[in-house]
């Protein structure tokens, strides 16, 4: 594009935003962050703030980089810029859940999860229900978490609609089963650890990039010590 064009900055923003998003989807979160950094430094805010998707993808990438506090700050800023409109996007809601979880804001996490699941897409419902398990685990309400994961496994979601999530659900089930018996503070037996590792290996062998970077799965892996 001619450097004198009135549209050069718009196109530059579009290109950098696409590059950043593609890198993030391909799990190259550091490279994505580098493109986002260039974008927000070089492109005027009146242009970047016209694009909610750009902000949503940036927020998501920050969470993938485990920069939860920075992500929280960017989300608060996004609410100022875009108002309640941005809260209507499911991507914003799911990233709110991730931030609340990793910043250990249990009260906010409970509030975010208290919605009508029937209004969600099937894959979103699974995400929310897995985080309900996490919500209970964070409060050491292991029996409630165990009931929730069993209900999910028996649901139509798992058996008819999104059955490819079954390995994730099974991994969560096995982890929660042993936590229900032992809690967080007591060391798991060698048999329990082997069972957890076997369930984890099935996810790795399935080699589905989305699942290898799926937040509920990553949270449980971290907490269980894998």
Of 191, 186, 145, the residue nearest 169 (C-alpha): 145
Q: Residue for token digits 């058996």?
A: 159
Q: pLDDT per position in the chain (226 positions), as tens? A: 676 777 888 888 999 999 999 999 999 999 999 999 999 999 988 898 888 999 999 999 999 999 999 999 999 999 999 998 999 999 999 999 999 999 999 999 999 999 888 888 888 999 999 999 999 999 999 999 999 999 999 988 777 667 778 899 999 999 999 998 887 877 888 999 999 999 999 999 988 888 888 999 999 999 998 8
Q: Round to whole Å and give the CA distance between 68 and 74.
A: 10
Q: Give me 45's structure tokens.
A: 């805010």
How does DSSP classify residue 87? G
């Amino acid at each position: 594009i001619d450097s004198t064009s009135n549209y050069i900055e718009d196109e530059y923003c579009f290109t950098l935003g696409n590059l950043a998003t593609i890198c993030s989807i391909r799990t190259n979160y550091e490279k994505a962050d580098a493109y986002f950094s260039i974008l927000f430094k070089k492109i005027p805010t009146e242009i970047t703030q016209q694009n909610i998707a750009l902000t949503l993808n940036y927020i998501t990438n920050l969470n993938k980089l485990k920069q939860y506090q920075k992500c929280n700050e960017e989300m608060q800023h996004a609410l100022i810029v875009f108002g309640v409109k941005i809260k209507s996007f499911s991507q914003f809601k799911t990233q709110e859940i991730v931030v609340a979880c990793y910043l250990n804001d249990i009260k906010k996490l409970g509030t975010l999860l208290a919605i009508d699941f029937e209004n969600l897409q099937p894959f979103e419902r699974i995400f929310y229900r897995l985080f309900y398990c996490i919500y209970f685990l964070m409060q050491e309400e292991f029996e409630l978490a165990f009931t929730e994961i069993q209900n999910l496994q028996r649901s139509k979601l798992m058996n008819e609609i999104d059955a490819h999530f079954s390995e994730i659900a099974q991994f969560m089930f096995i982890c929660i089963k042993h936590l229900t018996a032992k809690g967080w503070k007591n060391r798991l037996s060698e048999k329990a650890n082997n069972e957890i590792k076997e369930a984890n290996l099935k996810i790795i062998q399935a080699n589905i990039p989305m699942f290898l970077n799926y937040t509920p799965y990553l949270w449980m892996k971290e907490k269980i010590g894998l």
